[in-house]
Structure 1
Amino acid sequence: MLTQHPDSPERFTRHDIPRLAIAAGVLILALTAILGADILPEAPLDVEVGQLARTDIRAPRALDFESTVRTEAARVAASTAVPPQYSFTTENAIAIAGAQQIAFESRVTRVDTTFAADLSAANRMSLLQTAVTGLSDGAVATLVELNAARWAAVRTESARILDATLRSELRDSEVAETRTRLAGRMAGGLDEAER
């Protein structure tokens, strides 16, 4: 009497099949409605300028677009973020000085040729006025007034100062200041206009 017998579990019978089918059908319909809501097309987005969109705007396909403006801005920002790198070596200075001496020689070749030639004063003046491009009017006037001996002195001193300046350490940040002091470094008995 004291021992209790557990209730025997009910068996699955033929009468339970319709109830199972109905419950499974309801569950399938509910899950289909919930999960299938994303498949249905959304109403077209109708917004005006300045109005906030009610839903997220999604692109119809993945597309990469390179913005030239942003790319250039990023390139400039990266360039300015790099600190100046400077490594002075005597070999590089000698090579640069040699290259600049060659450039100097080629720039003043027409002046050398004009002074070496046997020309009239008028012809010499017209050739000297256009011999070196980029000179100021005052520098052209001084060049026209020079004779061959004074030109040789100016040319020699200019070549010496160019070589001495480029063989020593010259940083980019010091170029403007060095350029203003070049006339003061020139010797050789040159007057103010010839410097």
Structure 2
Amino acid sequence: MTSLPVRFIQNQSSRKFYRFGLLLVSALLVLGALVLPIALRPSSLPVQLGDVAPQTFVASKTLTYESAVLTQNARATASNAIADRYLPMDISISRSQIKNMQAMINKISLIRSDKSMQFEHKFIMMLQFENLTITQDAINQILQMSAQEWEVVSQEAISALERSMRNTIRSYQVQ
């Protein structure tokens, strides 16, 4: 028979061994429970282009993208949704335009009446007017008019501008 202290020591060492074994098995089970789902997960989803996804995927972070094209379309839509608003007729604009027309007619009259310049030089000077877009054919006609014809044309041009500036001009009236 074994004595009591020896049995107690053997019993205590087997308990330590049993506890260590239990701790080791528990740790392995916990590690297996954590690692096994990751190891069993497929590396890619069995989804082809055009297939319906088997689950809902959620992005890990939120990204925003501002489309320049869609922004421009939205601005154009908003701009078109607002009706045109016209201000009352401004008489100073009318006077300014008539004054500009008279100044242009005076320049053309000076060029036409200058006897020292040749036709070609007059033609080139009229082509170089800054605020006037005129065809070469129109310049030829202006330079070949008689003094009386030019007087009638210049008066009619001012008269037509005055008539058109009396009324407000809307964008739908311009062709």
Answer with 1 or 2: which has the greater Rg. 2
Equivalents in 1 of 2:150, 2:106: separation in Å?
A: 12
Equivalents in 2 of 1:84, 1:126: separation in Å?
A: 42
Between the two proteins, the alignment pairs up a number of residues equal to 133
Q: Which has the higher helix share?
A: 2
Residues 45, 117 of structure 1: alpha-carbon distance in 2 compared, 3 angstrom cutoff: farther
Q: What TM-score do you get using the length of structure 2 for normalisation?
A: 0.57
Decide whether the 8 Å contact of 1:97 with 1:163 is kept in 2.
yes
Equivalents in 1 of 2:106, 2:125: separation in Å?
A: 12
Equivalents in 2 of 1:131, 1:148: separation in Å?
A: 22
Residues 58, 146 of structure 1: alpha-carbon distance in 2 compared, 3 angstrom cutoff: farther
Write the mapping of 1:2-151 to structure 2, written as runs, cut at 5 A.
46=45, 47-87=47-87, 89-90=88-89, 92=90, 94-105=91-102, 107-108=104-105, 110-118=107-115, 119-128=117-126, 130-132=127-129, 133-151=132-150
For structure 1, the 5+ residue unaligned runs are 1-39, 177-195
Secondary structure of 1:134 counterpart: coil
Decide whether the 8 Å contact of 2:123 with 2:139 is kept in 1.
no
Residues 138, 62 of structure 1: alpha-carbon distance in 2 compared, 3 angstrom cutoff: same
Q: What TM-score do you get using the length of structure 1 for normalisation?
A: 0.53
Equivalents in 2 of 1:99, 1:59: separation in Å?
A: 63
Q: What is the identity percentage for the equivalent residue pairs of Structure 1 and Structure 2? A: 20
Shift of 1:68: 0.8
Shift of 1:71: 0.8
Decide whether the 8 Å contact of 2:94 with 2:165 is kept in 1.
yes
Secondary structure of 2:161 counterpart: helix
Decide whether the 8 Å contact of 1:115 with 1:124 is kept in 2.
yes
Equivalents in 2 of 1:43, 1:105: separation in Å?
A: 86
For structure 2, the 5+ residue unaligned runs are 1-36
Decide whether the 8 Å contact of 2:101 with 2:158 is kept in 1.
yes
Equivalents in 2 of 1:124, 1:166: separation in Å?
A: 31
Q: What residue is the counterpart of 1:21 in the other structure?
A: none
Equivalents in 1 of 2:61, 2:150: separation in Å?
A: 74
Secondary structure of 2:74 counterpart: helix
Equivalents in 2 of 1:103, 1:85: separation in Å?
A: 27
